[in-house]
Copies of this chain bind each other. A is one copy, B any other.
Amino acid sequence: MIKYESIAKDIQEKIEQGIYKPNDQLPFEAEMCETYGVSRITVKKAMDLLVMRGMVIKRRGSGTFVKNITLPANDEYSFSTSNQFSGFFHTEGHKDVRSEIKEFQIINPPEIVAQRLKITEEDFVYYIERIRYSEGVPNVVEYTYMPIDVIPGIKKDILEKSIYEYISEGLGLKIKSAHRTVRATLPTVQEEEYLEIEHCFPILEVEQVAFLDDGRIFEYSKSRHRGDKLELKTVSVQ
């Protein structure tokens, strides 16, 4: 559909298939213009996407090259947060992923949550507490708040699958961006039980405020992951 996306996708696939190998030089921008029948700015935008994804590097005066790095390991539990959203869907779709809902209520949000969601303490939000299992092993406890005005119609069966799928496919809303803060902590007493760990066990906490396409905030959440089950990958490009 969109030209620069399909060009980026084409090149990315060729890299993943090994047609272009690490350190290989990609075709020049001028060459790609002819190949794909587009203008140079469009090719440039496609390559900039791949730069943001950490897959290629550009050197003025030299060319564009496949990046010099072992590609994101296919760890089931790692999720990547470069500038695309791979990973926003929490590597759903893997075998044997299920959720156990511990709490599901509609409440007035605590002050801090109201601040983060930019709503008042009198508004209503879903409060969801769920444990996510992979291959039968508990990985993460998620504490999620979502304004009912923004995301109406959540039922228990949706939580057991993917909220994100419901938002994008069920409601036709587009997820746009997220601000995340990552910390290392220790589990609470309850989390020791939920995650089947001892007190002296590292927890990777990901606090997230997530935005829709139209600028509304639809989620404030804290995900507290077993330290041995999640690593978070990022690419930063200047």
Contacts and interface: CB of A to CB of B under 8 A. Distances in A.
B177 A232 contact: no
Contact of A217 (B52, B68, B182, B225): B68
Q: Which size bracket describes the interface of A in this complex?
A: 35 or more
Interface in A196-229: 199-205, 209, 211, 213-215, 217, 225, 227
Contacts of A57: 176-177, 211, 215
A214 B62 CA distance: 9
Interface string A170-207: 00000111111111111000000000000111111100
Nearest to A185: B202
Interface of A: 51-52, 54, 57, 59, 62, 65, 67-70, 78, 81-85, 88, 115-116, 118, 175-186, 199-205, 209, 211, 213-215, 217, 225, 227, 230-238
